[in-house]
Amino acid sequence: MAAEIHSRPQSSRPVLLSKIEGHQDAVTTALLIPKEDGVITASEDRTIRVWLKRDSGQYWPSIYHTMASPCSAMAYHHDSRRVFVGQDDGAVMEFHVSEDFNKMNFIKTYPAHQNRVSAIIFSLATEWMVSTGHDKCVSWMCTRSGDLLGRHFFTSWASCLQYDFDTQYAFVGDYSGQITLLKLEQNTCSVITTLKGHEGSIACLWWDPIQRLLFSGASDNSIIMWDIGGRKGRTLLLQGHHDRVQSLCYLQLTRQLVSCSSDGGIAVWNMDVSREEAPQWLESDSCQKCEQPFFWNIKQMWDTKTLGLRQHHCRKCGQAVCGKCSSKRSSYPVMGFEFQVRMCDSCYDSIKEEDRTSLATFHEGKHNISHMSMDVARGLMVTCGTDRVVKKRK
């Protein structure tokens, strides 16, 4: 489905333009063809298809190619019209699409992984094909020779990938909830740092090379913005989805982040505001408001002849508090909390009504979304998922 995201989506909602149906299984990737009224899709039904809009207004496949294994990931480079399709068996196949998008020629197969391919990126400048897979590794291969240049292993499935083309840095998210920043060289790589903040597996990443911001979405239903550039170590938390965050796209021109979740939710976050960093949670043996002991504080419970209380945390100040001292809930969008979250009484009282004004808009995609891609120049979006339907919005 193609949707249009306007420069100020706070006042508009994505409009469904069309549905593309025909796949027999979940659609893993759908990519808009720049400057063309077409979409490339890859599916678990082992097919890759190029859909072009006909005079009737319907999309029909101009290319229908069946692979040896279910298609799990795809990358398309429009200037060279090269398509890279990752498969469930670990192989990546390269094709070249004709200028009229009516023919696709096989180029070569890359033995990139031993298990399902989860993400692919192609760099024309270096002629590298970088990919991640469920064999717990990232690999990079030479697209001229087809040779493996290097491979780096993780402790968990590598689930998603972003790449900085100028510096050859790769960001790899994995199922442990960790993001690893690697510097890729011709035949080796070095680990620059690891980013830890999510409480669930990393499902998607987006890298903005202009502002040097990394966005990550995870199965803990949250998004984290990592400031890799200017303010080292600064992170912003965004919570507004009810399910796993599956896909991200940052619109640099309008400072907006578009996110999609597996329950069909589409959120547009206003990042052109001064946001507050969520505090680190403090630990204490007793409530930092009323000083009543928590249930593990045996000594104070014995001394005061009281039962221990359960520990909670105020989302605004991070203090360890008991339930009685944090009985109120409030949204606090400037800190990324679009839902109502636990607040200690003093923090709740400090929030003005205007502080609760949402800094995001939420829309219903009306299907399970596993992947989303955008054509920012034209304001178009396509989403796809397990319901086998591709939706185009504007």
Position 11 confidence tier, pLDDT thresholds 50, 70, 90: very low
Which domains are seen in the chain, by residue range? 16-278+359-393 (2.130.10.10), 298-356 (3.30.40.10)
Task: Return the pLDDT at 8.
Answer: 40
Average pLDDT over residues 204-215: 95
Do 222 and 248 touch, CB atoms closer than 8 A? no
Task: Return the pLDDT at 283.
Answer: 87
Among the residue ranges 29-38, 74-83, 231-240, the one predicted with the least confidence is 231-240
Task: Return the pLDDT at 108.
Answer: 96
What is the C-alpha separation between 177 and 25, in angstroms, rounded? 28
Give 214-253 as a DSSP string: EEEEETTSEEEEEE-SSSTT-EEEEE--SS-EEEEEEETT
* Residue % of the chain over a pLDDT of 70: 95
Can you give the pTM of this predicted structure?
0.90
Average pLDDT over residues 104-131: 97
pLDDT (tens digit, 9 = 90+) per residue, 318-354?
999 998 999 999 999 999 999 999 999 999 999 998 8
- For residue 83, the 8-state DSSP code is E
Rounded to 10 degrees, the C-alpha dihedral 174/215/208/36 comes to: 80
Task: Return the pLDDT at 247.
Answer: 97
Average pLDDT over residues 118-141: 97
pLDDT (tens digit, 9 = 90+) per residue, 64-87?
999 999 999 999 999 999 999 999
Does the pLDDT value for residue 307 go beyond 80?
A: no
Give 343-362 as a DSSP string: E-HHHHHH--GGGGS-SEEE
Average pLDDT over residues 108-136: 97
